[in-house]
Amino acid sequence: MAIKRMDNMGIFVEDLDATVDFFLELGLELEGRATIEGEWAGRVTGLGDQHVEVAMMRTPDGHSRLELSRFLRPSVAADHRNAPVNALGYLRAMFAVDDIDDTLERVRARGAELVGEVVDYQDIYRLCYIRGPEGILIGLAEELG
């Protein structure tokens, strides 16, 4: 059987409220928030007794979701927030935007920092990477023409 779709991508954060606010400013919509705990959840993750706060964010087209989570129990085991772009593992989430300059202006007010610079790729896209809350690496792409 083939995969139907990618349901969501998960990112674990320390400050869930600030991260939700950042992604709202970026243009995602808050689909809902919940607390997940119990023996069943720990069986899925292999972490045993766990307690997690979750916020599900949705892109405006409704096709993609970002699951933002904060562990209350067990405590965080590792911190990859400031890994460089060429580190192994998760790289970034890429979002298509209407106006990269306007988007940058709005998210900088929420603490985002440009990683390198905004570049034109073969007159097809304007692209950049930013670091959002918690050091989350995000790509922005504005289609040209």
Domain tally, the chain: 2
Distance CA 52, CA 19 (A): 15
pLDDT band at residue 125 using 50, 70 and 90 as cut-offs: very high
Between residues 84 and 68, the one the model is more confident about: 68
pLDDT band at residue 1 using 50, 70 and 90 as cut-offs: low
Dihedral pair phi/psi, residue 44, rounded to 5°: -70, -45
**Which domain covers residue 120, as residue numbers?**
93-143
Dihedral pair phi/psi, residue 81, rounded to 5°: -60, -30
**Domain contains 119:** yes
> Given the structure tokens 């985002």, which residue do they identify?
112
The pLDDT score that the predictor gives to residue 4 is 77
What's the mean pLDDT in 11-16?
A: 93
**Domain contains 88:** no
pTM of the predicted model as reported, rounded to 2 decimal places: 0.89
pLDDT band at residue 145 using 50, 70 and 90 as cut-offs: confident
The pLDDT score that the predictor gives to residue 91 is 74
CATH code, domain with 21: 3.10.180.10
**Domain contains 97:** yes
Are 103 and 69 in a shared domain?
no
**Domain contains 35:** yes
Are 33 and 61 in a shared domain?
yes
Cis ω on the peptide bond leading into residue 74 (within 30° of 0)?
Answer: yes
Percent of the chain's residues with pLDDT above 70: 99
Q: Count H helices and E strands in the chain, helices first.
A: 3, 9
The pLDDT score that the predictor gives to residue 97 is 96
Which pair of structure tokens corresponds to residue 75?
């405590």
The identity of residue 139, as a single letter, is G
Which pair of structure tokens corresponds to residue 76?
């965080």
- Partners of 56 in beta bridges: 32, 67
Q: How many CB atoms lie within 10 A of CB 28?
A: 20
What's the mean pLDDT in 123-141?
A: 93
